[in-house]
A and B are shown apart, each in its own frame.
Chain A
């Protein structure tokens, strides 16, 4: 998930306002409806991976890339998908504001070549701003498969803008609209910099006479009183007009947006009929499958089967990878470290602490973090690319309705199974703060790949795969119960939305591997230093005996309430740094207490205790990275409330389970 935000528009000449100008490159903004393929287009254009997925809400903020074309170089800025310039795709500012704040010199609008009637109104909105517009009629291959061909030259005539058919997934035709956009942007940037004389381009009037008169009147009012643009409601457009980013006509059309919307829709429908050539074509298999996966039967059994298959795949593949890498580490690296570190560091306690970090920390990454996280990322990437997630949103809509959320909340919640952090940012697909608060709370309760790895690795080898599955059922029950309670407690009501279903596509191995690799790389880069440092600190705490006062302090409540030894409580507390630490620490404590036999967790904890430990670890306080995302998205008070609630839930569920299982 991209988190870069541009500098807020500042007056010309200021540092922030001249950001792009200082670089000397024109700016091309990438605009389009959700899931039309903007991010894929950006990746093709820049030749570098961009986070893409076959569902709405992949781009929740702005991504800027430098592109070099035959027409010159430029910045290409990917904006969040929106149905209209008035949409608030990032949950805060409307798209027109995000667009103008990047100070574009041209707008490249990506439309669905097979669905022009719904996509052209956005092109008309952009065209009305007074900026050069280029249209990429994307997904041309899918349109053709459905029997739809478009007359691009005719559409270009109607729009008075270049139109190029493209296919972002294969890269066909991507270069032409880019070159056109960069050329137009370059000319406009030259005019702004005084390198070229101004040549006014007035868009052809397309609206009914009365509407055009209203627009012209607002423009005249603005010309007569440029400080106010004629109306108080126009004040928010004024800085952009004064900065030369927005034309007075553009400001007037933004002001009249609600009135112009039906007109744009009518014009778009007429133009689409003019330029579309339809022929009979068989219904593609993907469309037939889409109908199947969203119907209760067999959609729900397919959903259940996919969930169980994903779980078993993670257990099998992750387990095999973990066993292979752990064995290799134990055979080759561990003996070398055990011999080498004490030779280099003579102080025994420091040497032991270093071994915690270098041997224990890295082994935990190899045996818990990497195998399960990588497998999870591959599965999630394949599901995202297939477009199945929006189908799952339809199936789960009623369940989410009980939790005060729309069906589209299924998308971030499913992403949370990979990692909670992008899922927290992904809640921006929801419209209200209440929904984002409720969804973020549930996201923190969804076991991420690290927590799933703990549950699987702690239970599957020692108690059995069935018990591990049961632990997930318990966590799901806790999550649903917490969601019902939160929906009842948080004031407000849930509005209704229309969700556009993504077409089903065969996942492209290249996309899936690239996405899984980039996320995995980010995970390794972030997690490894934390794991090393955390393990070092823990090693020092353990070797110096400093953990004993902490364990002694928490022993009564942990033992009495959860039926667990104190060191289990210490391990859960330190898992705040990184969830994987919960298991690594427990193993380390176990080995320290029982010697090599402690490598079998069964010697430290009974099966019932392992079950309680897995559930408490899975539900308890989010890790530091998730907490940071919560603070960033919802503020510190909401983040603290969510963290407090998850601790209370973990303790409540753990205490209840301990009593049911007879260990407390």
Chain B
């Protein structure tokens, strides 16, 4: 059963996404959208937090094959929703 996005699923900012759980980007601060778009962080993309830098350092985010270090300030302006399987609806 493919994972998909449930419209009424609760959103959270990227920095609150649990490590290892994939999240679908649903909103990006409009003021930073153009900048983040260049790194591939756009609405509709699936990202996974694979690690966190020490002492509140950047999140290590996996975006398809790429691995990105996203500072917490930026992670707080990206909202994600965890995809759920249809069987869970």
Contacts and interface: CB of A to CB of B under 8 A. Distances in A.
Given A294-B53, A397-B57, A261 B67 contact: no
A261 B53 contact: no
A66 interface: no
A2 interface: no
A83 interface: yes
Given A83-B39, A261-B37, A262-B37, A499 B68 contact: yes
B36 A498 contact: yes
Interface stretch (A112-120, A126-134, A654-662): A112-120
B15 to A, nearest CB: 12
B58 A499 contact: yes
A575 interface: no
A390 B42 CA distance: 23
B50 A87 contact: no
Interface string A251-268: 000000010011001000
Contacts of A395: 53-54, 57
Contacts of A261: 34, 37-38
A115 B37 contact: no
B53 A407 contact: yes
B41 interface: yes
Given A393-B69, A397-B71, A498 B41 contact: yes
Contact of A498 (B50, B51, B55, B68): B68
Interface residues of B, number: 30
A397 B58 contact: yes
Contacts of A143: 65
A407 B69 CA distance: 9
A406 B58 CA distance: 10
B16 to A, nearest CB: 17
Interface string A442-482: 00000000000000000000000000000000000000000
B37 to A, nearest CB: 6
B5 interface: no
Contacts of B55: 398
A300 B54 contact: yes
B56 interface: yes
A501 B69 contact: yes
B60 A500 contact: no
Contacts of B36: 498
Contacts of B60: 291, 294, 394, 501
A290 B67 contact: yes
Interface residues of A, number: 38
Contacts of A406: 71
A497 B65 CA distance: 19
Contacts of A258: 34
A407 B60 CA distance: 12
Contacts of B88: none
A394 B51 CA distance: 10
A461 B38 CA distance: 52
Contacts of B66: 115, 118, 500-501
B67 A500 contact: yes
Contact of A407 (B34, B40, B44, B57): B57
A397 B37 contact: no
Interface in A483-498: 496-498
Given A83-B38, A398-B55, A398-B57, A115 B65 contact: yes
A296 B53 contact: yes
Most central of A269, A294, A295 by chain B CB within 10 Å = A294
A496 B37 contact: no
A617 interface: no
Interface string A108-147: 0000101101100000000000000000000000010010
Given A261-B37, A499-B69, A407 B58 contact: yes
B70 interface: yes
A498 B39 contact: yes
Contact of B74 (A118, A148, A299, A496): A496
A294 B51 contact: yes
Contacts of A497: 71, 74
Contacts of B54: 296, 299-300, 395, 398
Interface in B59-78: 60, 63-71, 73-74
A496 B55 CA distance: 16
B38 A84 contact: yes
B51 to A, nearest CB: 5
A112 B70 CA distance: 21
Nearest to B74: A496
Contacts of A265: 37, 40, 42
Contact of B68 (A299, A500, A503): A500
Contacts of B51: 291, 294-295, 394
Nearest to A272: B64
A398 B56 contact: yes
B58 A500 contact: no
Nearest to A397: B57
A114 B39 CA distance: 15
Most central of A112, A117, A406 by chain B CB within 10 Å = A117
B43 to A, nearest CB: 9
Nearest to A297: B54
Contact of B65 (A148, A269, A294): A148
Nearest to A258: B34
A103 to B, nearest CB: 26
A530 to B, nearest CB: 40
Contacts of B34: 258, 261
A393 B60 CA distance: 11
A497 B54 CA distance: 17
Contacts of B52: 295-296
B65 A498 contact: no
A486 B53 CA distance: 24
Nearest to B72: A496
A204 B67 CA distance: 33
A397 B54 CA distance: 8
A496 B73 CA distance: 7
A141 to B, nearest CB: 14
Given A498-B41, A501-B69, 9 more contacts: A261-B38, A262-B37, A291-B51, A394-B53, A398-B54, A398-B55, A398-B57, A407-B69, A498-B71
* 4 closest Cβ pairs, A-B complex: A296-B54, A83-B38, A118-B40, A496-B71
Interface of A: 83-84, 87, 112, 114-115, 117-118, 143, 146, 148, 258, 261-262, 265, 269, 290-291, 294-296, 299-300, 390, 393-395, 397-398, 406-407, 496-501, 503
14 contacts: A84-B38, A115-B64, A117-B64, A265-B42, A290-B67, A294-B69, A295-B51, A296-B53, A300-B54, A394-B53, A395-B53, A395-B54, A407-B53, A498-B39
